[in-house]
Structures are given as C-alpha cells and as structure tokens.
Amino acid sequence: MHAENKIQNTGNLAKASFFNQYVKDFYELGYCLIPNLFEQNEVARISKLFDRLQKIASSLHATQYVKGTQFVVERRSIQRVVWSCSIEPELKKFGTDPRITKVVAAILESQRFDHLICQAHFKLPGDKVEFAWHQDTEHRRFGTKLWKDVNGKGSYVQTVTAVDAMKLSNSPIMVIPKSSHLGHLALNVGNNRQKLVDESKLVSIVMEPGSVLFFGPYLIHGSMENRSSQARRVFINGFSYPGANSRQYPGNGSGYCFKADS
C-alpha cells in the first residue's frame, strides 16, 4: 500500500489550519507526511554531505568515533552515522530547519525540546541493512529511569527526510497505521513481534527527495534490505519533550535543548 500525501502546499506552514492537519494525522495515524518540504538544491547539498560521510564510513572496518560522530559499521555495511552533524556541522542546519521544528513544536505543544538524534541512514544496494518491526520506545529506553513520557502523548517526534527517492523497489519505510494507540509493546521481547504485529495493515511510505515523515515513538515501523540497484538514504532527526530523556546519547553535543522560532 502507498501512504497518502494529504498535504501538498508546504508554502503555508505558518497557517494554523495546516499545523492542525499535521497534528491530527500524527496523533490519529501515528505519523504525518509533508511532501517536498525541502527544495531540490537543498536536497542536493544534503546528498553531497552524505557522500562525504559514506566515504569515511567505507574506510572503516568496525564501529568507531571520528571527530565526535559515531560511525556504526558492521560486516562492512554502514548501519548508521550517529550525531552526523558533529563531523558535518551543516547537517544541523537542515535537521533543525524551521520547516521541521515548527511542525515538531506544534505536535509537542512546546517551543523547547531536546535534539537527541541526528543520524544519516544508508540503504545501499546489496548492503543487507534491514530493521525488524519495532517501536522507537525501545531505543528511548522506555520503562527505565532513562525515559519518562512527560506529556502523556509519547513525548517524542522522529523526523525522516528523504535524501533519495523512497520507492516500493528500494526498501521503503513500512508502518502500521494507528499502532501508536497500542502503547509500548516490547516487540523485542520473546515472540511479541510475531504475536503483536499485523502485517496485513502495513503501509509502505513512498517519498520524493526533500519530503519529510514525522512519527511518534509508539508507531510500529521497519524496513527490509534494499535489493534494488538504487540507494535509499534518509536523514533522521529526533526531538523529545523537555524532561523526558535522561540518557546521554552518542556524539559530541547531542541532547542539547533547542528553542523553536515563535
């Protein structure tokens, strides 16, 4: 199934009606999708920065830090580049662009939030990188002293910017709409993943470069390995409600408090 692009005009981000639609989709479906949020010249710049990250990662044989950025490399495959804006500071400008943070602020109902995630994800042909069905509550350390759902609505927004076209052929992100209403399911425990994920309801998210997906921590999502000949790279930035996170995330400067433009 294809995700439906409900909002086409990103030039009206300042209008309350558009924010209301984003927030409605986010809390009803567990996610919202804004097509063509970034201009193509901006996407081209992000792509060049990703090329530089890939060149460094390709020279590594194992996971290690380089200039404050963690390159997670396993079996010669780039799993992810964590806090990528430390080694490429320009990425922070794109990750915290007002077109993104205004939507995050509307969803969280807060002008201040913590910037926890700034990651480059690579799905390259033949790299066999895949992500089993999961909820981001697992990564936020839900159920431990490191995480608290302060606002009672998840207290977290993940943003995914498409650097390349995300198509059915090159391993798109798959989601289970409305699974966010189920709360934390501990899918990584026992056989919960097999018991609790209804794959008949999955939606494959199709995105053009520059489009941005926003989703919450309870949404069930995942992706398979890229078996096409085309790369599928995404730029991920995650933001938490003030006071929700107590974990020190990898990377120099991660977890700082960000203030959105009013």
pLDDT tens digits for 133-185?
Answer: 999 999 999 989 999 999 999 999 999 999 999 999 999 999 999 999 988 99
Whether 236 and 89 have beta carbons less than 8 Å apart is answered as no
pTM more than 0.85: yes
pLDDT reading at 8 higher than 60 = no
How many residues belong to the chain? 262
Burial of 10 (0-12, 13-18, 19+ CB in 10 A): middle
The β-bridge partners of 240 are: 114, 156
Structure token pair of residue 90: 């320009």
| Average confidence (pLDDT) over 210-215 | 97
pLDDT score for 13: 52
User: Under CATH, to which class is 10-242 assigned?
Assistant: mainly beta
Those residues whose C-beta lies under 8 Å from the C-beta of residue 110, and which sit 6 or more positions away, are: 151, 241, 242
Q: What is the mean pLDDT of the chain?
A: 90
Q: Write down the domain spans for the chain.
A: 10-242
Residue 111 corresponds to which amino acid? Q
Helices (H), 137-255: 192-196
